[in-house]
Structure 1
Amino acid sequence: MERAGAAPALFIMGGAPLLHPESQVFEGMLSGWRDQQLARNLSKGTIEDRLSAVQRFQRFTNERPWTWRPADVEEYTSHLRCDGRERSHSTIRGYHGHVRLFLEYVSDPRYEWTAVSERLFGTHPSQVFFEWNTAVHVSEYEGRPGRRALTQGGAPAVLRLRRRPGRRCSHVGPQGLVASDAGRDRDEGHLRVGTASP
């Protein structure tokens, strides 16, 4: 039984010559990765985002996965940070993660893309995304402060206070409802929270 995402027999056996081997093998890799992710029951949106990130990286390098180098990652990251578009740290880290996953797939011998690449190109894909050349996760929360979730201790405190009658709320702040007098509960040292008036 053939493994979902495995290289097609045409590429493995090499019966008929390929007209455009570099393009055909790269497209086969993308198609195989799509199949492998579908077999894992990932959403189509996730799969398309990942494939787009790989295609974007390939267009930037103008190379195929079996010739990608760690220096390509650094140049790509510099391009993403300096091309005039504001990208968040987490967006760049996401792009890195998507291409890293693709390289894990094509360099896994179970899918036979390494054997295909060796036979046709004399080399094979390998991982070029490492901790030292990619964006790392630097804090618990990287988004805009106004969108930050409650702290670990904050959520239980809000739930406890919600069970008690609270003061009228004057507005909704970045972390939820704020009491009109912004007073503190003297017993527990927590901000009182109530429901907003209609």
Structure 2
Amino acid sequence: MRTIDVPGAIQLVVPGNVRALDPGPAMFGAMLRGWEQQQQSRLLARKTIDDRLSLVRRFALFTATYPWEWTPEDVEAYFSHQLSLDPPLAHSTVRGQQGDLQMFCAFVTDGRYGWAKACEEAFGQFPVQVCHGWNTADHVAEFEGRPGRRALTYDELQALFDAADERVEQTRKRRRKGVLAAWRDAVMLKQVYAYGTRRRETSMLDLSDLRHNQRARDYGRFGALEVRFGKASRGSPPKRRTVLTVPEADWIVSVLEEWVDEVRPGFSPGGHPALWVTERCGRLGVRRLDEVFTIVREHAALPPELDLHCLRHTYITHLIEFGYPERFVQEQVGHAYASTTALYTWVSDEYRNRLLEESLRRRTERVGGKGLGSR
């Protein structure tokens, strides 16, 4: 197969009139640059590309060999080592890394890019695919997240919100700085639950994303939330969606109104558009969101396995329990497939018992209507 001028091809990365003094490292570095270019042409996120390049470098460092010397046994040895660490890598992480390594091998063995031919000419060896079905993890479970990640119970959710509010009062009573920040943190956590937003989606919210809903005029400018930085996939731009304020969470309207009109101006944000601002008038970052949840969770004495994303799980679960159709829930949270929404749903025993009671009631009515001994 002849090489063609596609992003990542060897002739576009390695000058034809230059001979490296140390050909091994030079060839490996060129391969990585070529793969980087190939992924950039697919519009993949910078972080995705960097993580993949870092994995390949770590694998090469572990094996102390170059791609044209790798064997399937190297894959087994590397990931056996990763699983022996404390704590070991999660199953989903291992499977993802194996997929990334498989993609790199597919790139350097594809004849259109010319790397295999160049390696054979330079080293007498050529790279092969080292990741196969028999030496990599299977995707056998629909949900591969941490078992501890779950929806909060109603009591846990109330305890979390109470702890967040208590932090505000404690800070105020002690006459210490940080009352506005604690207030912001409490409202932010409630917003994450009331709209089921992800971390980055929450961080990137602006005041202009607070929207009216003509079908819910009583909510004013808090009838909906415009999410403009939804989770992207396969190199696509961030996905957008509009999350409607549901009646079961209409308490968030007065909470957000107080934040926007009375509390947020205390930060003197000027013209900064962010809904969640810092004491230095910047945008509240994703890392800080995690820190806030951890602080409040510990204050509420909740289990340590709970994290901020669990509020999104809770939102989805509660929407199902409130009786909303799966399609509505799917659009509210921005899932491309209904099966994804189902993976995030933990319906309580109370809700399932209500469904069972309703089914039994309908069955009893049908039997009673037919009369004794009827068929």
Q: Quick check: TM above 0.5? A: yes
The Cα offsets for residues 109-167 of structure 1, whole Å up to 9 and x where unpaired, read as 10000111011111111101101011111211122335369xxxx98x9277148xxxx
Counterpart of 1:70 (choices 59, 62, 72) is 72
- C-alpha spacing 1:10/1:46, structure 2 compared with 1 (3 Å): closer
Q: 2:149 aligns with which of 142, 147, 151?
A: 147
1:166 alignment partner in structure 2: none
CA contact (8 A) 2:69 2:127 kept: yes
Equivalent positions of 1:1-198 (< 5 A) are 2-8=5-11, 11=14, 13=16, 15-147=17-149, 158=320, 161-162=323-324, 175=345, 184-185=354-355, 186-188=357-359
Q: TM-score, normalised by structure 2?
A: 0.42
The change in CA–CA distance for 1:180 and 1:69 in structure 2 (over 3 A counts) is closer
Gap regions ≥5 residues in structure 1: 164-173, 190-198
Task: Answer whether contact 1:141 1:148 (CA < 8 A) is retained.
Answer: no
* Structure in which a larger fraction of residues adopt helix: 2
Q: For the residues of structure 2 that align with 1:145 and 1:137, how far apart are their CA atoms?
A: 16
Pair 1:179–1:129, CA change in 2 (3 A): closer
The whole-number CA distance in structure 1 between the counterparts of 2:70 and 2:144 is 29
Unaligned runs of 5+ in 2: 152-315, 326-343, 361-375
For 1:176 and 1:26, locate their aligned partners in 2 and report how far apart those are by CA, in whole Å.
47
Deviation at 1:77, TM superposition (A): 1.3
Displacement of 1:2: 2.5
| 1:188–1:26 distance in 2 versus 1, CA, 3 Å | farther
Query: What SS is found at the alignment partner of 2:74?
Result: helix
TM-score, structure 1 as length reference: 0.75
Cα RMSD (Å): 3.0
8 Å contact from structure 1 (residues 12, 116) kept in 2: no
In structure 1, the partner of 2:370 is none
Go from structure 1 to structure 2 and tell me whether the alpha carbon gap of 1:27 and 1:162 turns closer, same or farther (over 3 Å shift): same
Displacement of 1:29 = 0.4
Query: 1:196 maps to what in 2?
Result: none
Separation (CA, whole Å) in 2 of partners of 1:11 and 1:181: 63
2:320 is matched by which residue type in structure 1?
A: V
Residue 299 of structure 2: aligned partner: none
Q: Which one has more relative contact order, counting CA pairs under 8 Å at least 6 apart? A: 1
Assess, with a 3 A threshold, how the Cα gap between structure 1 residues 127 and 182 changes in structure 2: closer, same or farther. Answer: closer
Distance 1:81 1:134, change over 3 A: same
Question: Take 1:95 and 1:120, find their aligned partners in 2: how far apart are those partners?
Answer: 29
The higher radius of gyration belongs to 2
Partners of 1:179 and 1:61 in 2: CA distance: 50
Q: Is the 8 A contact 1:12 1:112 kept in 2?
A: no
Distance 1:180 1:127 in 2: 51
Does the Cα contact within 8 Å between 2:321 and 2:351 map onto a contact in 1? no
